[in-house]
């Protein structure tokens, strides 16, 4: 009898817990009603956020969010949208679809005829410290965390008559992954007030890593014809993972004199800046 009572208590206790979780759900589409994968959805300047799935669907836990807080929705290649939570909730109750408009890029044409090929960055991996992508007990609510590093491009391109250079590849060092698979998005930014600002890529560059994989991972950036002419930040954003797993990490070195490390905890959070610290990242450039 006591066993049955215990089961009943556990059942209703679990039901009460589940009921207490306030989640908003929706699907993010483009103007042609096609789903947009890996869209950042989160409470502005907080750690509360997630990333939409490949089919555009998202679930955002908002039980600790005020009705007047701002939810920002953004991704590469599309105009961002922002909603007050109470308005977004009402909108999704009527229609669970959110549409984003594609950005029409009108880029100045820059030609780089490579004379010099250079590889530089921070390649020290012999450290016991790790920098971890956020882990949460709520599935997918920690996606959008991002690690980035500053690259002082002018230090190298001044050897050339032209300051412009082409990014050919990014290499980063993976310390651990116990997910069956996990996906990272490569991000490249102009620096604004010393922190990552405007993204330079206009399409997704996705890297998939596997369980047990460690060591250097190289990403080919040549197809994106990415031309830069000043200091930049390169980042890795965690956007998706298999149902099982607990850890995805890169090594972190401190002190790393002259280096600058950035971390964004949450898909719409503000960047934090850490001087004299770095995760191993190396870029290949041509100019």
Beta bridge partners of 219: 170
Indicate if the pLDDT at residue 222 is higher than 60: yes
What was the pLDDT predicted at 161? 54
Structural domain spans, the chain: 20-99, 117-286
Indicate if the pLDDT at residue 227 is higher than 70: yes
Q: Please report where in the chains the tokens 């009572």 appear, as a residue.
A: 5
What was the pLDDT predicted at 162? 56
What was the pLDDT predicted at 201? 93
What was the pLDDT predicted at 164? 82
**pLDDT band at residue 239 using 50, 70 and 90 as cut-offs:** very high
What was the pLDDT predicted at 27? 98
The dihedral region occupied by 153, where left means phi > 0, alpha psi between -120 and 50, and beta the remainder, is alpha
CA dihedral sign of residues 124, 154, 171, 274 = positive
Mean pLDDT of all residues in the chain? 88
What was the pLDDT predicted at 11? 40
Return the SS3 of 164.
coil
Pick among 3.40.50.720, 2.60.40.1120, 3.30.2130.10, 3.20.20.70: CATH of 20-99? 2.60.40.1120
Q: What is the pLDDT of residues 23-55, one digit of tens each?
A: 999 999 999 999 999 999 999 999 999 999 999
Please tell me the distance from the alpha carbon of residue 8 to that of residue 53, in angstroms, as a whole number: 35
Q: What is the pLDDT of residues 118-175, one digit of tens each?
A: 999 999 999 999 988 877 677 788 899 999 999 998 765 554 555 788 999 999 999 9
Topology at the third CATH level for domain 117-286:
Jelly Rolls (2.60.120)
**pLDDT band at residue 8 using 50, 70 and 90 as cut-offs:** very low
Beta bridge partners of 77: none
Look up residue 151 and give its two tokens. 């690259």
Indicate if the pLDDT at residue 184 is higher than 60: yes
DSSP 194-225: TEEEEE--SS--EEEEETT--EEEEEE-GGGT
What was the pLDDT predicted at 9? 43
136 in Cβ contact with 60 (< 8 Å) = no
Mean pLDDT of 60-86: 96
What was the pLDDT predicted at 229? 85
What was the pLDDT predicted at 106? 64
Q: Are 20-99 and 117-286 in the same CATH fold? A: no
**pLDDT band at residue 2 using 50, 70 and 90 as cut-offs:** very low
Nearest Cα neighbor of 151 from 221, 211, 103, 205 is: 221
Question: pTM of this prediction?
Answer: 0.88
Mean pLDDT of 53-70: 95
């Amino acid at each position: 009898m006591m066993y049955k009572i215990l089961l009943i208590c556990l059942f209703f206790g679990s039901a009460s817990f589940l009921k207490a979780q306030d989640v908003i759900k929706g699907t993010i589409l483009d103007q042609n009603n096609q789903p947009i994968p890996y869209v950042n959805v989160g409470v502005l300047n907080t750690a509360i956020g997630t990333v939409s799935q490949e089919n555009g669907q998202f679930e955002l836990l908002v039980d600790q969010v005020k009705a007047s807080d701002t939810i920002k929705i953004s991704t590469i290649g599309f105009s961002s949208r922002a909603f007050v939570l109470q308005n977004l909730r009402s909108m999704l109750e009527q229609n669970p679809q959110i549409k984003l408009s594609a950005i029409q890029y009108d880029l100045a044409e820059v030609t780089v005829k490579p004379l010099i090929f250079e590889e530089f960055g921070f390649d020290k991996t012999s450290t016991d410290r790790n920098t971890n992508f956020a882990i949460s007990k709520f599935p997918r609510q920690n996606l959008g965390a991002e690690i980035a590093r500053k690259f002082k491009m002018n230090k190298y391109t001044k050897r050339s008559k032209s300051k412009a250079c082409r990014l050919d590849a990014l290499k980063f060092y993976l310390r651990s992954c116990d997910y069956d698979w996990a996906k990272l998005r490569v991000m490249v930014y102009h620096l604004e007030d010393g922190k990552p600002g405007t993204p330079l890529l206009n399409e997704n560059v996705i890297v998939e890593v596997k369980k047990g994989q460690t060591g250097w991972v190289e990403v080919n950036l040549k197809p994106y014809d990415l031309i830069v002419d000043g200091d930049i930040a390169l980042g890795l954003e965690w956007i998706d993972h298999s149902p099982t797993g607990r850890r995805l990490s890169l090594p972190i070195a401190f002190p790393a004199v002259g280096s600058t490390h950035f971390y964004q905890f949450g898909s719409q959070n503000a960047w934090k800046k850490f001087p004299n610290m770095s995760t191993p990242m190396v870029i290949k450039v041509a100019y």
